[in-house]
Amino acid sequence: MNRQNKLEKIIDHYGWSHQLRKLNEETYELFEAFMNYQHSGSMKNLVALAEEIADCKVLSSQFLLKMGNSYSVMERVEEIKELRHKGGCGYSATIMLLEFYEFAQEVMRIRHDAQDYYGWAVEKLYTYIASYELLAEELHIDEAVIEDVMDKKIERQIERIKKGE
């Protein structure tokens, strides 16, 4: 089973509402991990931050898959990252995280089946996946490390599903 199939299985098992609550929770934890790292600069807090980035990427990717987007996630993420690099948009990592936390709060208030919501939400999710990657770049966290953590987190979720949790 490839990553996409596993992500679909996870969101199908737990449901849209549950995963929205998890996205909200994980976004807060990402912001908290970032602030802890900024305060201490410790390797322990950097590792925790990488794990929270992975959590948010896993959840965001689930929603993009379920929204049936036809556009390649990675193509759009790369476009957004390139625009931010070229334009020097002036977004600090803290501002990006605050914006994403606000987005997660907004998602909790909107019915998931509202058609006019999908385009907005998909574009926001692309933007925030790009933001996670930019944050990782800014803090010199190797993307391969985040991908490895994502794979481990996905596998743990699949194992929980198999056990009936």
- Residue 90 is predicted with a pLDDT of 46
Contacts of 117 (CB under 8 A, 6+ apart): 110, 111
- Residue 118 is predicted with a pLDDT of 57
Model confidence at 111: pLDDT above 60 = no
- Residue 153 is predicted with a pLDDT of 95
pLDDT category of residue 14 using cuts at 50, 70 and 90: very high
Cβ neighbours around 19 below 10 Å, total = 21
> For the whole model, what pTM was predicted?
0.76
Model confidence at 89: pLDDT above 50 = no
pLDDT mean over 133-144: 84
Please state the domain extents for the chain. 3-163
- Residue 25 is predicted with a pLDDT of 85
Q: Report the range of poorest mean pLDDT among 46-55, 69-78, 107-116.
A: 107-116
> Which pLDDT tens digit goes with each residue over 16-40?
878 878 887 888 888 889 889 889 9
Give start and end residues of each alpha helix (H) in the chain: 3-14, 16-40, 43-66, 73-87, 93-109, 115-138, 143-163
Model confidence at 6: pLDDT above 90 = yes
- Residue 136 is predicted with a pLDDT of 83
Please report the sign of the dihedral spanned by the C-alpha atoms of residue 42, residue 126, residue 64, residue 147.
negative
